[in-house]
Amino acid sequence: MERSEHVVEIAAPAERVFAWLTEPELMQRWVGGLREFRPLDPEPGPGARSEQVVELGGRRMDVRSELVRYEPGEAVTAQLTGKGFDVTTGYRLEAGDSGTVVHATVDTKLHGLAGRLLGGVVEKHAQRKLERDLATLKQLVEAEKTS
């Protein structure tokens, strides 16, 4: 299993940041490659499922996800599965000096021969993607007008 981690501070309250981490229409604005997000359950919470279409490196992948942790304003973790991989993404929020500190982790497990051969390459790509995605999240949340 390969792990990527990144921390970013966003000048916004935790409730606003949490919405960007969990609302499909907002997620599609900052998660690189997320093309479609279809909730399968009416409300978010532990056990809530979704189907997603992700495009990375010119490859289109169908992904199923399930929320395994959902604590509004504090933390969210999802287990994603697709052909040849399992990914667990987690975000934990805490108060920072000028807003909300987001602690993000991505654990990737590849299956089969490709997983054994490409593990290091995937880890580097996953780390860069996580850092880019969180930079985009920070920019969008901080630019959002408060109501």
Q: Using the predicted structure, report yes or no on whether residue 69 has a pLDDT greater than 80.
A: yes
First to last CA, the chain: 42
Mean pLDDT of the chain: 89
Domains observed in the chain: 2-30+71-143 (3.30.530.20)
CB 23 within 8 A of CB 137: no
> Averaged over 69-77, what is the pLDDT?
97
Asked whether 44 and 20 are in contact (CB, 8 A), the reply is no
To the question of pTM greater than 0.75 for the whole model, the response is yes
Sign of CA dihedral 95, 27, 86, 8: negative
**Does the pLDDT at position 50 exceed 60?**
yes
pLDDT of 56 over the 70 cut: yes
